[in-house]
Amino acid sequence: MKGGARCGAARSVLPVLIALGALAGCGATAAGAAGPAEPITGAPPAGGAQPTDDRRILHALSRLTYGARPGDVERVRAIGLSAWIDRQLGPRTIDDSATDRALAELTTLRMPILELLREYPRPDPKLREKIASGAMTRQEMQERYPMEKRPIRIAAELQAAKVVRAVTSERQLEEVMVDFWFNHFNVFAGKGDLRWYVSAYEREAIRPHALGTFPDLVRATARHPAMLFYLDNWLSARPDFIVPAGPNRGRKAGLNENYARELMELHTLGVDGGYTQKDVTEVARAFTGWTIDRPQTSGRFVFRSAMHDAAEKVVVGHRIPAGGGQADGERVIEILTRHPSTARFVATKLVRRFVSDTPPPALVARVASTYTSTAGDIPAMLRVIFESREFYGEDVYRAKIKKPFEFVVSAVRALGASTDAQGGMALARASAEIGEPLYLAQPPTGYADRGETWVNAGALLARLNFALGLASGRYPHVSVELSALVAGADPGSPSAVLDRLLAALVADQAGPATRAVLTAQLGDPQITRLTTDDRGPANTDVAKLAALVIGSPEFQRR
Amino acid sequence: MPTRRTFLKAGGCALVAYAAAPRFLLRTARAAEANGKVLVAVFQRGAVDGLSMVIPHGDAGYTGVRPSIGLLPPRRGESDRAIDLDGLFAFHPALAPLVPLWENRALAVVHACGSPDTTRSHFDAQDYMETGTPGIKSTPDGWLARAVKTRPASRTPFRAVAMGPALPRTLQGDVGAISMQSIERFDVRAGTDASARQGFESLYEQGVRDLLHGTGRETFEAVKMLRGVNAARIAPANGADYPRGQLGEALRQIAQLIKANVGLEVAFADMQGWDTHVGQGAERGQLALRFREFGAALAAFAQDLGGKMADVVVLTMSEFGRTVAENGNRGTDHGHATAMLVLGGGVRGGRVYGRWPGLAGHQLFEGRDLAVTTDFRTLFAEVATRHLGAPAAPLFPGFTTREPPLALFA
The number of beta carbons lying within 10 Å of the beta carbon of residue B136 is 13
Domain identity same for A290 and A383: yes
Which phi and psi (to 5°) does residue B339 adopt? -110, 145
A367 and A236 inside one domain: yes
Q: Is residue A200 part of a domain?
A: no
Asked if B179 and A458 come within 8 Å (Cβ–Cβ), the reply is: yes
Residue A382 sits in the same domain as residue A425? no
Domain total of chain A: 3
Its sign, for the CA torsion A115, A119, A120, A124, is positive
In terms of domains, do A348 and A324 share one? yes
Q: Assess whether pLDDT exceeds 50 at residue B29.
A: no
The fraction of chain A above a pLDDT of 90, given in percent, is: 62
A388-422 tens-digit pLDDT: 999 999 899 989 999 999 999 999 999 999 999 99
Of B64, B114, B135, nearest to B369 (Cα)?
B114
Query: What is the pLDDT of chain B when averaged over all its residues?
Result: 87
| Cα gap B67→B328, rounded to integer Å | 11
Is A150 a domain residue?
no
3-state secondary structure of B375: strand
| Closest CA of chain A from B170, distance in Å | 12
Asked if residue A526 has pLDDT above 80, the reply is no
A414 and A548 within one domain: yes
Maximum mean pLDDT: which of A153-162, A505-514, B62-71, B387-396: A153-162
User: In this complex, do B213 and A553 lie within 8 Å of one another by their Cβ atoms?
Assistant: yes
Answer whether B218 sits within 8 Å of A8, measured CB to CB.
Answer: yes
Look at A503-512, B106-115, B357-366 and tell me which has the smallest mean pLDDT: A503-512
In a shared domain, residues A393 and A410:
no
Is residue A126 one of the residues assigned to a domain? no
Of A7, A235, A261, the CB nearest to B210: A7
Q: Are A421 and A550 within one domain?
A: yes
In a domain, A28, yes or no: no
Asked if residue A136 is part of any domain, the answer here is: no
Specify the higher pLDDT residue, B268 or A244: B268
Please tell me which of the candidates B215, B277, B330 has its beta carbon nearest to residue A456.
B215
A393 and A416 assigned to the same domain: no
Q: With an 8 Å Cβ cutoff, are B203 and A514 in contact?
A: yes
Residues A310 and A441 in one domain: no
Instruction: Indicate the pTM of the whole model.
Output: 0.79
Q: What is the predicted ipTM?
A: 0.80
Give residue-wise pLDDT tens across range A60-79: 999 999 999 999 999 999 99
Backbone angles phi and psi of B352, in degrees to 5: -100, 120
Instruction: Read off the pLDDT band of B146 (50, 70, 90).
Output: very high
Q: Is the pLDDT of residue A100 over 80?
A: yes
Q: Do A460 and B215 touch (CB under 8 A)?
A: yes
Residue-level pLDDT at B176 = 78
Q: How confident is the model at residue A126 (pLDDT cuts 50, 70, 90)?
A: low
Tell me the fold of B37-182+240-388.
Answer: Alkaline Phosphatase, subunit A (3.40.720)
- A523 CA: distance to closest CA in chain B (Å): 12
Q: Is the pLDDT of residue A270 over 80?
A: yes
How many other C-beta atoms can be found within 10 angstroms of the C-beta atom of residue B407?
A: 11
- Minimal Cα–Cα distance from B408 to chain A, Å? 34
Question: Which domain, by its residues, includes A65?
Answer: 46-89
Give the closest of A256, A271, A465 to B328, CB-based: A256
> Taking CA atoms, what residue in A is nearest to B123?
A445
Ranked by mean pLDDT, which of A331-335, A480-484, B226-230 comes out on top?
A331-335
Which chain A residue shows the shortest CA-CA distance from B9? A13
Same domain, A292 and A417: no
**Between A and B, how many CB-CB pairs are < 8 A?**
243
Shortest Cα distance, chain B CAs vs residue A245, angstroms = 15
Longest dimension (CA), chain A: 84
- Ordered by start, the domain boundaries in chain B are 37-182+240-388
User: Residue A43 — very low, low, confident or very high, per pLDDT cuts 50/70/90?
Assistant: very low
Q: What is the DSSP string of A343-384?
A: HHHHHHHHHHHHT-SS--HHHHHHHHHHHHHHTSBHHHHHHH
> Considering CB atoms only, which of A14, A34, A548 is closest to B153?
A14
**What is the structure's pLDDT at B197?**
86
Say whether pLDDT at A123 is over 80: no
Residue B366 phi, psi dihedral angles, 5° rounding: 50, 30
Task: Give the pLDDT score at B12.
Answer: 29
Question: Is residue A70 included in any domain, yes or no?
Answer: yes
Share of residues in chain B with pLDDT > 70 (%): 90
If asked whether residues A348 and A408 sit together in one domain, one would say: no
pLDDT tens profile B356-396: 999 999 999 989 999 999 999 999 999 999 999 999 889 99
Q: How confident is residue A3, by pLDDT bands cut at 50, 70 and 90? A: very low
B170, B183, B184, B200, best to mutate vs chain A, most A CBs in 10 Å:
B200
Residues A386 and A448 in one domain: no
Disruptive mutation site among B137, B188, B203, B224 for chain A (greatest number of A CBs within 10 Å)? B203
- The count of other CB atoms within 10 Å of the CB of residue B286 is 16
Q: Kindly report, residue by residue over A203-243, the tens digit of the pLDDT.
A: 999 999 999 999 999 999 999 999 999 998 998 999 888 88
A24 lies in some domain: no
A-chain residues within 8 Å CB-CB of B177?
456
What is the structure's pLDDT at A44? 42
At residue A363, the pLDDT reads 98
Judge whether A29 lies within some domain.
no
Residue A39 and residue B199: Cβ atoms within 8 Å?
A: no
